[in-house]
Amino acid sequence: MRTKVPRWKRNLDSLPPRQIIAYENSLEVIRQMRRGKTITSATKSVGTTIPTVKKYAGTALQKKSNRITVKKNDNLLRKMRMYENGKEVWVQVKGIRQAKLIGQYHSSIEKRMEQGQEDALDAFKGITVTDVKGQKHILETDITKLTAIREKIEEPEHFTIYSSGGAN
């Protein structure tokens, strides 16, 4: 007998705004724990609770020696910014591996655009990211197109690759 997976675990767009904030706060706690913080200090700094983190990101947690720690890999959904076919797109990806790939991609874009490192994007040519619907997205590596995309985007004070609920 299969248990029914809640819709939001398959598509974050089905969450109401308050729950999106709670989910994103839970992801931030997981990020901070991966950087060495305890769950208690991470939840305090983010302004959420341990039960909320367990509700939204519990599958990324484990208990070791009577302490709550974060697993090396997870299957949590993340809504992330990437560039494809000369456009900025937001995709929902499942798991830390896909999220890390997009994060490394953005770091490489910065190395190419800000530091002039010519070969920074070479490793991403032809690389695809698969979203939660199974669609494949090819990472944009053409510097001319990336420059045009970046010029269209209003520069926020803090550029983020993660959605803050309102982005599509």
User: Letter for the amino acid at 81?
Assistant: R
Residue 86 has, within 13 A of its CA and on its CB side, a CA count of: 3
- Under the banding of pLDDT at 50, 70 and 90, the label for residue 46 is very high
pLDDT digits (tens, 9 = 90+) for 114-134: 999 999 999 999 999 999 999
**Would the pLDDT of 36 be above 80?**
yes
Single pTM value for the model: 0.83
pLDDT digits (tens, 9 = 90+) for 60-88: 999 999 999 999 999 999 999 999 999 99
> Would you tell me how many other CB atoms lie within 10 Å of the CB of residue 138?
15
Q: For the CA atoms of the chain, what is the radius of gyration? A: 17
Inter-residue long-range contacts of 35-38, CB under 8 Å, 24+ positions, other chains counted: 38/67, 38/68
Residues 6+ apart with CB under 8 A from 139: 82, 83, 84, 105, 124, 127, 128, 129
